[in-house]
């Protein structure tokens, strides 16, 4: 029996487009949506095949995320407890100093992290903020770790300053599909995100860019997010797929939860459409059962955030992750 006859949809026929026109997308949205709609087993089988062509299927990269400047952000992202627009109990803090960051990075390295990500709750850093972040990047690089920052919107000059300091990755998420963006954030638009990503690329840094699912979006909109990411040229090297963590006080608190299998499908579609990217199982892991996390690894997730806190929300602690890795025979890389 061929693949085409065992499936209700012909798995092998859903492929990136070979566009007749030079500007046509590599992954037209209908092709991405068709992946989402495959029978679950077919989707996971295909994702595993793609994953094994490009990676050791039992290796998972571990990144640690530190909030270097918490809260007080003027943006109104509906999911975020750090926005000044919502009363969530998050206390605004100052930018951490070099010694604090160096200590946290050394501890993360000790616990097996290979990349250290620093997040600051800014709409867009000022040039004097960038000067301080440059020092932090240098301190973390000196420990032999890969570095990543997420600082908000960057100018071209700021992106180049970070690259010169040795920053390896810049994280800037698209969050959701273009047509859903206005429901989630009103203080900036999609094009602002794309402009920063262009500055990051032009400066020669790797791009870390993904989104958040479970924000009340439709499957079509999830496909729209993945299509946006997969059609970047080149697509991001690192693709965090976050599951909304509902925080009391934010507008998205109280939404109906997303079916966990739909989350797994999103990971699988990201893996298939961006074969060589590190697909990161990011926020929301603390609320996920081990079985769902295992399905995400099977679907092609090969990176996690590691450590007991993600900016301001919880993350599984070190022992729980060690135990899960041991059960699944996963290794860190
Ligand atoms: S997600 Fe980032 S930009 Fe949006 S409110 Fe939170 S800290 Fe600010």
Q: Is 83 in the pocket of ligand 1 (CB under 6 A)?
A: yes
Looking at residue 88, its pLDDT comes to 92
Which one has a higher pLDDT value, 12 or 15? 15
Looking at residue 288, its pLDDT comes to 93
Q: Which of 74, 78, 79, 82 to mutate to test the pocket of ligand 1 (most atoms within 8 A of CB)?
A: 82
pLDDT at 208 over 60: yes
In angstroms and rounded to an integer, the radius of gyration of the C-alpha atoms of the chain is 19
Ligand 1 centroid distance, CA of 262 (Å): 25
HEC-encoded secondary structure of 136-202: HHHHHHHCCCEEEEECCCCCHHHHHHHHHHCCCEEECCCECCHHHHHHHCCCCCHHHHHHHHHHHHH
Q: φ, ψ for residue 132 (rounded to 5)?
A: -70, -40
pLDDT at 63 over 90: no
Percent of all residues in the chain with a pLDDT value above 70, rounded to a whole number: 90
Q: Is 139 in the pocket of ligand 1 (CB under 6 A)?
A: no
Ligand 1 centroid distance, CA of 152 (Å): 8
Confidence of residue 173 (pLDDT cuts 50, 70, 90): very high
Ligand 1 centroid distance, CA of 122 (Å): 7
Torsion sign (Cα): 105, 108, 114, 118: negative
Percent of all residues in the chain with a pLDDT value above 90, rounded to a whole number: 80
pLDDT at 313 over 80: no
Q: Is 80 in the pocket of ligand 1 (CB under 6 A)?
A: yes
Cα–Cα distances in Å, from 68 out to 164, 173, 304?
20, 18, 19
Confidence of residue 18 (pLDDT cuts 50, 70, 90): low
At 289-304, the pLDDT tens digits run: 999 999 999 999 999 9
Cα–Cα distances in Å, from 179 out to 6, 184, 191?
36, 10, 12
Q: Decide: residue 287, CB within 10 A, 0-12 exposed, 13-18 middle, 19+ buried.
A: middle
Mutual angle of helices 29-36 and 219-230, in 10-degree steps = 120
Looking at residue 241, its pLDDT comes to 97
Q: Is 82 in the pocket of ligand 1 (CB under 6 A)?
A: yes
Q: φ, ψ for residue 167 (rounded to 5)?
A: -65, 130
pLDDT at 211 over 50: yes
Ligand 1 centroid distance, CA of 241 (Å): 16
DSSP, collapsed to helix, strand or coil, labels residue 115 as strand
CA distance 283 to 275: 21
pLDDT at 22 over 90: no
Q: Is 175 in the pocket of ligand 1 (CB under 6 A)?
A: no
Q: What is the mean pLDDT of residues 305-313?
A: 66
Looking at residue 314, its pLDDT comes to 65
- Ligand 1 atom index nearest CA of 83: 5
Q: Is 75 in the pocket of ligand 1 (CB under 6 A)?
A: yes
Looking at residue 2, its pLDDT comes to 34
At 150-167, the pLDDT tens digits run: 999 999 999 999 999 999
Q: What is the mean pLDDT of residues 103-122?
A: 91
CA distance 43 to 38: 6
DSSP, collapsed to helix, strand or coil, labels residue 314 as strand
Q: Is 152 in the pocket of ligand 1 (CB under 6 A)?
A: yes
Residue 203's closest CA among 153, 239, 168? 168
pLDDT at 279 over 60: yes
Where are the alpha helices (H) located in 218-259, listed in sequence order? 219-230
Which one has a higher pLDDT value, 7 or 14? 14
- Ligand 1 atom index nearest CA of 123: 3
- Ranking 10-24, 63-77, 207-221, 249-263 by mean pLDDT, the lowest is 10-24
In this structure, the strands spanning 278-281 and 238-243 are parallel
- Ligand 1 atom index nearest CA of 185: 4
Q: Which region, left, alpha or beta, applies to residue 56 given φ > 0 means left and ψ of -120 to 50 means alpha?
A: beta
Torsion sign (Cα): 173, 175, 181, 184: negative
pLDDT at 100 over 90: yes
In this structure, the strands spanning 115-120 and 309-310 are unpaired
Confidence of residue 317 (pLDDT cuts 50, 70, 90): confident
Q: What is the mean pLDDT of residues 236-249?
A: 95
Active site residues: 73, 77, 80, 117, 148, 208, 280
297: Cα within 13 Å, side-chain hemisphere: 23
Residue 279 CA from chain centroid, whole number:
7
């Amino acid at each position: 029996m061929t693949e085409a006859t065992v499936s209700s949809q012909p798995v092998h026929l859903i492929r990136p487009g070979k566009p007749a026109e030079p500007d046509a997308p590599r992954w037209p949205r209908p092709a991405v949506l068709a992946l989402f709609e495959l029978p679950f087993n077919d989707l996971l089988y295909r994702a595993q095949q793609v994953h094994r062509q490009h990676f050791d299927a039992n290796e998972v990269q571990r990144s640690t995320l530190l909030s270097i400047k918490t809260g007080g952000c003027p943006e109104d992202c509906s999911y975020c407890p750090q926005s000044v627009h919502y009363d969530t109990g998050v206390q605004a803090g100052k930018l951490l100093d070099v010694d604090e960051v160096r200590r946290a990075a050394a501890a993360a390295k000790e616990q097996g992290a290979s990349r250290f990500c620093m997040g600051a709750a800014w709409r867009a850093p000022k040039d004097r903020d960038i000067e301080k972040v440059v020092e932090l990047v240098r301190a973390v690089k000196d420990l032999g770790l890969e570095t990543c920052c997420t600082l908000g919107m960057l100018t071209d000059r700021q992106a180049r300053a970070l690259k010169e300091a040795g920053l390896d990755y810049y994280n800037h998420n698209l969050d959701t599909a273009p047509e859903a963006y206005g429901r989630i954030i009103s203080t900036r638009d999609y094009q602002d995100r794309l402009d920063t990503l262009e500055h990051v690329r032009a400066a020669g840094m790797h791009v870390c860019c993904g989104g958040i699912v479970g924000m009340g979006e439709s499957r079509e909109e999830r496909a729209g997010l993945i299509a946006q990411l997969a059609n970047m040229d080149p697509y991001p090297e690192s693709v965090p797929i976050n599951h909304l963590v509902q925080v009391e006080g934010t507008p998205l608190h109280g939404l109906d939860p997303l079916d966990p299998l739909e989350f797994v499908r999103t990971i699988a579609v990201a893996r298939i459409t961006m074969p060589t990217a590190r697909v990161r199982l990011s926020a929301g892991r603390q609320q996920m059962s081990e079985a769902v996390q295992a399905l995400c690894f099977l679907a092609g997730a090969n990176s996690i955030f590691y450590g007991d806190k993600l900016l301001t929300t919880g993350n599984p602690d070190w022992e729980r992750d060690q135990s899960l890795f041991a059960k699944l025979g996963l290794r860190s890389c």
